[in-house]
A and B are shown apart, each in its own frame.
Chain A
Amino acid sequence: MSELNSSPKSLFDKLWERHVVVEETADAPAVIYIDLHLIHEVTSPQAFSVLDGRGLKVRRPDKTFGTLDHSTPTLPANAKGELPYATPEAKIQVETLIKNCETHGIELLNLGDPRRGIVHVIGPELGLTQPGKTIVCGDSHTSTHGAFGALAFGIGTTEVGHVLATQCVLQRKPKSIRVNFDGALPDGVGAKDMALAMIAQIGADGGQGCAIEFAGEAVRNLSMDGRMTLCNMSIEAGARFGMVAPDQTTFEWLHGRDFAPKDLAWNEALADWMELKTDLGAGFDREVHVDAANIRPMITYGVSPDAAAPVDEMAPSPETDAEHHAADYMQFAAGKPFSDVAVNRVFIGSCTNSRLSDLREAAIVMRGRKVKAGVIALVVPGSEAVKRAAEAEKLHEVFLAAGAEWREPGCSMCIAMNGDSGNPGELVVSTSNRNFIGRQGKGVRTVLASPATAAASAIEGHIADPRPYLFARESA
């Protein structure tokens, strides 16, 4: 065995090495090959314009897939079949992607396609996302796909153009961090709580530009949906990549999906995917330990995702200028329990928490109960497939009976550019990923939380600990 093969490598090292087309030098970054390029309507039109302007073709339309999610309405079409777009521009944006995909021979999950959905929900769901792949999209939450042991990252529109034209990006190999979640998660605590606890611990720039591998017992025990939620939030700690080594959970989840390898090819893929784990003794630039056994349901109280704390705590006193600024905006009274904070809206959805297990979690809390009078609750499935699966289980009836709205799939209130948004001053408990000022509408105050916490808050009309609801159901 050669020296090279015998030195222990991390999962990240292995993924990186497999995709180097040209090694990096002092003068230039590495050329990295991309196995899967996902595109959507918001960050692709200008890239196609550059391509068309230079007379370039899409190099690998067979490795490129489009979906419509960001600007698409979540309310159904009217009697004339017209969708209620937020603006004429939104409609043009959607039509532009449809036209670009037609022109360049790219498969598009168009409006009406039973496979359409949020880009980071449909990639895995269709089996396009696989261990060992490099995956990019003009969207920062592309790290979601790292849950399968893929090297997945968000890129800008110029780079979308690079990938369309060359199927490659220029990258320098970043530093690596292993985040170890030690111990088993307590009951009533999930992947979203893990993500928020980690970001609170290391900071919104704690993983700046780095590759994070999530490891430890609590990560191993997560379902694929949970791993996707965790990897999704890597970017909220500034990281470029977040990943989990694939294992039996991953393989079982992928088996039989539309684009997953079949028959003999499946066995070959499996043998290869088994290699995708960090060798004993492989080095990381930094090791972080998170005490998973002591994580409680988490919420955010500020305007950056690292301003997160257990839901049963009290709002902290602001100290720095930034904390005062955030506290002025959020209007949480220091020293008062978070459960004193009244809620105007609840949003259950987004690429972070819109999968079937997320909806089941919310439904456990909402079943047989009513959303507090005056609170508007929106449940937005991540894809057409999630919507069908949820309806097959009659989850939509639980939400509708509780007084929540059951919408068509899309990004919806996470980015609030399709017309779904809050009003100035309103407080929204949201299962999405960003609590930035104005993110969910001008002047809207966002509190990030898990689906269970969001659902409990909808029922109580104030920020609420979901555990009594979850435990009550378990013992019943």
Chain B
Amino acid sequence: MSFDPIKTLTSRTVVLRQENIDTDQIIPARFLTTTVKDGLGKSAFYDWRYDEDGRPKNSSVFNGVNPATHKILVAGSNFGCGSSREHAPWALSDFGFRAVISSDIADIFKSNAQKNGFLPVEVDEETHKKLLASPGAEVTIDLENCEVTFGDGEKGSFPIEAFARRCLLDGVDPLGHLLNQAPEIEAYER
């Protein structure tokens, strides 16, 4: 499996200030009765975007968000907590997002996102505050150099696990790497 490689991403942000945005917010469980990965973008943040009768909410932060120009989510800490549903990064990707930046991204969500070419970026508190305070700002995520750059030239760095970074830069899922370990796996099984 492969996806579009990410080296740098320059885009406007959509800011979700809340902490602990769980995967039930990202895609409610009633949309999980699918057997495919495609087409989940319409269900992304569904209950934030639509009211009980399915009409778009006037107050939704997603109103006017153009996926072509707003590819970066900025969220409060512990983004993606809760379930292991990979439908969460699938839905965000299908909606048009390519990355989320927070001070702290939940463990399983982060792992799932990285395997689908959706970039989870964990920045320091100061950078996070500045991002939260500037919705719609244009920022650049440079995965080669592990830096987030603001329009004013200010930069923040971010750590990312080396192997996940390599997979994102190359646009590959790690299955190939694991399949190459077959001799070692066979030896372990003996």
Contacts and interface: CB of A to CB of B under 8 A. Distances in A.
A127 interface: no
A378 B12 CA distance: 47
Given A50-B1, A166-B179, A156 B86 contact: yes
Given A156-B115, A165-B178, A21 B20 contact: no
Interface string A177-210: 0000000000000000000000000001100110
Nearest to B104: A205
A434 B18 CA distance: 17
A22 B108 contact: no
Contacts of B20: 204-205, 303-304, 322
* Interface-central residue, A86, A138, A434, A436, by most chain B CB under 10 Å: A436
Nearest to B115: A158
A31 B161 contact: no
Given A140-B82, A168-B185, A442 B177 contact: no
A33 B181 CA distance: 11
Contact of B115 (A90, A159, A238): A159
A210 to B, nearest CB: 9
A162 B175 contact: yes
Contact of B181 (A86, A166, A208, A437): A166
Interface stretch (B26-34, B63-71, B146-154): B26-34
Interface stretch (A40-48, A244-252, A452-460): A40-48
Given A31-B185, A325-B18, A439 B24 contact: yes
Interface string B108-122: 100110011000000
A113 interface: no
A439 B28 CA distance: 7
B155 interface: no
A436 B22 contact: yes
A416 B36 CA distance: 20
A265 interface: no
B166 interface: yes
Given A22-B184, A162-B174, A43 B85 contact: yes
27 contacts: A22-B181, A27-B163, A43-B84, A43-B85, A46-B86, A54-B175, A156-B112, A156-B115, A159-B115, A165-B178, A165-B179, A166-B185, A167-B185, A170-B163, A170-B174, A170-B178, A172-B161, A204-B81, A205-B20, A205-B104, A304-B20, A304-B22, A322-B76, A416-B30, A438-B24, A439-B29, A443-B52
Interface of A: 21-22, 26-29, 31, 33, 42-43, 45-46, 49-50, 54, 56, 59, 70-71, 86-87, 89-90, 92-93, 96, 138-140, 154-159, 161-162, 165-168, 170, 172, 204-205, 208-209, 238, 240, 303-304, 321-322, 325, 415-417, 424, 434, 436-439, 442-443
> What 10 pairs across the A-B complex have the smallest Cβ distances?
A156-B112, A45-B35, A209-B107, A156-B86, A89-B33, A205-B78, A154-B84, A157-B86, A158-B115, A140-B84
Interface of B: 1, 17-20, 22, 24-25, 28-30, 32-37, 47, 52, 76-78, 81-86, 104, 106-108, 111-112, 115-116, 161-163, 166, 173-175, 177-179, 181-182, 184-185, 188-189
